[in-house]
Amino acid sequence: MAIDIGRVAAGLPYPLGATHDGSGVNFAVFSANATRVELCLFDKRGKTEEARLTLPEYTNEVWHGYVNGLRPGQLYGFRVHGPYAPEEGHRFNPNKLLLDPYAKGMKGRLKWSDAHYGYRLGDDEADLSFDERDSAPYMPKCVVTEAPARQRFSFPWRRETRPQVDWANTVVYEAHVRGMTMLHPLVPDKARGTFAGLAHPAVIEHLVKLGVSTIELLPVQASVDDRFLEERGLSNYWGYNTIGFFALRETYLQRGGNIDEFKLMVHKLHEAGIEVILDVVYNHTAEGNHLGPTLSFRGIDNASYYMLADDPRYYFDTTGCGNTINQRHPRVLQMILDSLRYWVQECHVDGFRFDLATSLGRELRDFEPNATFLDAIGQDPTLAKVKLIAEPWDVGDHGFQLGNFPPGWAEWNGQYRDNLRSFWRGDEGYLPAVASAMLGSAGLFDKQGRRPWSSINFVTAHDGFTLADLYAYNDKHNLANGENNEDGHDDNRSWNCGVEGPTDDPEILGLRAQMRRGLLTALFLSQGTPMMLMGDEVGRSQQGNNNAYCQDNEISWLDWESIGERDQAFLDYTAGLIRLRERCPLLRQPDFLHGEPAMADGTKDVTWLRPDGAEMQEDDWSNGYSRSIGLMLAQAASAPYLILLNAHHEPIDYRTTQPEAVMGWTLLADSARGLIEPEAPDVAPGEAVTVPGRGVLLFEGRLG
């Protein structure tokens, strides 16, 4: 293809990115400090650079131009000229092909080469040196896509009804596109590991049977496999290494596939009543620290896109990944918001979980609840309506900000995980923490009109042990990661139940299942928003690896064919818990409970009980040896519920006390035996109930 440079018109500085209008393509890219921007056009295979065109106009710090005759599918990239002065924060190098920050499609994978670096690797001057090699042969290429209006016309959104699940009814299922589908026997080979695989009826049927309302997908945006991982024969399986915020990771598409596969997945999940939340990484990029590669933002305008240290040669890094995105810059903030709106408006996703969200809330150097980004997203008419979940920490100073995000946000509650794990393992002194956690952590979230759903309660997540491994391993086993077992958390609060790793001992296997059921029961009986990890419902193991970020293999994948009778029983019990939560409004209250009178006889909305049936007193809370507790929830004109938790290895008797209107208690769940709504006689008023060791019982009051 030959392009006549004379046909490159001025075009427009908006919208940013590559926009096809039916006749040609407008290109626009922000760079405040560049001196020239060149558009590089490639053949269909992305191998040959067929034209290099200078964008002719510079308006409001945006370089732009219009090329007539270009069509969707055209491959392209940028070369950006400007000062190479790392000591001043500038790292322009036109020898490096750069990805468009607004590219909505990418083709090809990054092939690691020394040419990716703006400086000469091994040079005595390190990043102060300058490398002249062309990186284009080793780079993925950006793809011009159809105009949004044409995409909307071609995809059947008009037949879609979004689930719009109320927060109080939300149950989150954290999953991985490849991990969920690679080993599913009913998913066709070509669809395994892809969005098409996740849209398969058998996969969706599993989610529906389980009863979750919302699937939260680990990052699906375009990302890069770290060079050191590829050299070990591994990959960045989790995907927290983003390089494009508008494009999908190509490996999640079938061969020759496009964005329609993602949209179809969303559409099919919505048809089943399941929301889709994306885990997104806007806190850092794959370009790493000052010694990292030049792939996009660094070469387009390093001083604008990244937060620089007092010495601008280096980065102000609060992410632990080498750099932090400068979300305070108006154009960078615009890019993030444009990206979020794209996924909501064009792809119909229902919300986002923000990785290391504290970094997004840093104003200058410190976290502020009214930081630029947080204010902007809260005021956006599109984004303020979707689910927003913060991972409320980063690795910078004062990075742990649990409970400090503004109204409208939910937050991953890491304290909930740690306190419940410790209590259920039998550690001493955790009663006050567990009581707070089970009522939605009001001490953290009950302010500014926030609700209990603000606490995302979880006991396992992608980062750490699976639920099965939590009670099969005392220690992490991460040797497969190639880091001498030095990576991953050491504070797991786990227990192997007597044997480290796999065993055929039926007593130990039974105890492990009982421990898992008890912890999961406590999770679903807590106020707040429960989140569970993919495969926990069927005993998925990662062989003791608690940091499987680089394991794109059987270590991380859900092995559907190995689900046995015991696992099926566990799945049924978990689904039963979710059904109970759905039909019992008192287990998912919209308001925090503070022990206020709720029934005619003065019974409070929440009452903490001792084994003798009396209400807990101040001295009881300070008894570090106590490992059991009772909780009664009540509301006017509604049946009360009684929750009894016993983390001790021995059974304990609890005497039931109840409101005057209660004629007896009906057993709804018994975690020790794995029973949901069993046929059992009611417990009479004042009768003692034996709570099994390491067991949780749920009763519903029978009103007279």
CA distance 270 to 265: 9
User: Cα–Cα distances in Å, from 642 out to 192, 421, 639, 657, 700?
Assistant: 44, 22, 10, 10, 6
Query: Measuring CA to CA, which residue among 436, 437, 435, 383 is closest to residue 406?
Result: 383
Residues 6+ apart with CB under 8 A from 128: 86, 87, 119
Query: Measuring CA to CA, which residue among 420, 426, 112, 533 is closest to residue 292?
Result: 112
Residues 6+ apart with CB under 8 A from 231: none
User: Cα–Cα distances in Å, from 684 out to 429, 601, 657, 658?
Assistant: 32, 19, 10, 10
CA distance 317 to 651: 50
Query: Measuring CA to CA, which residue among 459, 455, 466 is closest to residue 420?
Result: 459
Region of 576 please: left (phi>0), alpha (psi -120 to 50) or beta.
Answer: alpha
Yes or no: say if 128 and 87 are a contact pair by the CB < 8 Å rule.
yes
Catalytic residue among 38, 226, 391, 536: 391
Q: What is the DSSP letter of 251?
A: G
Query: Measuring CA to CA, which residue among 651, 656, 645 is closest to residue 701?
Result: 656
Structure tokens that stand for 431 in this block: 């009663």
Structure tokens that stand for 400 in this block: 């742990």
- Neighbouring CB atoms inside 10 A of 597's CB total 12
Burial class (CB in 10 A: 0-12, 13-18, 19+), 485: middle
Active site residue 391: yes
Structure tokens that stand for 373 in this block: 């980004």
Residues, the chain: 704
Helix, strand, or coil here: 530? strand
CA distance 84 to 87: 9
Dihedral sign computed on CA atoms, order 9, 14, 18, 23: negative
Structure tokens that stand for 288 in this block: 């790493």
Dihedral sign computed on CA atoms, order 94, 98, 103, 108: positive
Helix, strand, or coil here: 580? helix
CA distance 535 to 157: 30
Main-chain dihedrals φ then ψ at residue 125, nearest 5 degrees: -90, 0
Residues 6+ apart with CB under 8 A from 320: 394, 395
Active site residue 355: yes
Main-chain dihedrals φ then ψ at residue 126, nearest 5 degrees: 50, -125
Dihedral sign computed on CA atoms, order 26, 110, 195, 414: negative
Structure tokens that stand for 395 in this block: 């690795």
Please state whether the peptide bond connecting residue 15 to the residue before it is cis, i.e. omega within 30 degrees of 0: yes
- Between the two ends of the chain, the Cα-to-Cα distance in Å is 83
Question: Which amino acid is located at 299 in the chain?
Answer: G
CA distance 604 to 616: 13
Query: Measuring CA to CA, which residue among 593, 588, 584 is closest to residue 165?
Result: 588
Catalytic residue among 38, 279, 355, 446: 355
Enzyme catalytic residues: 355, 391
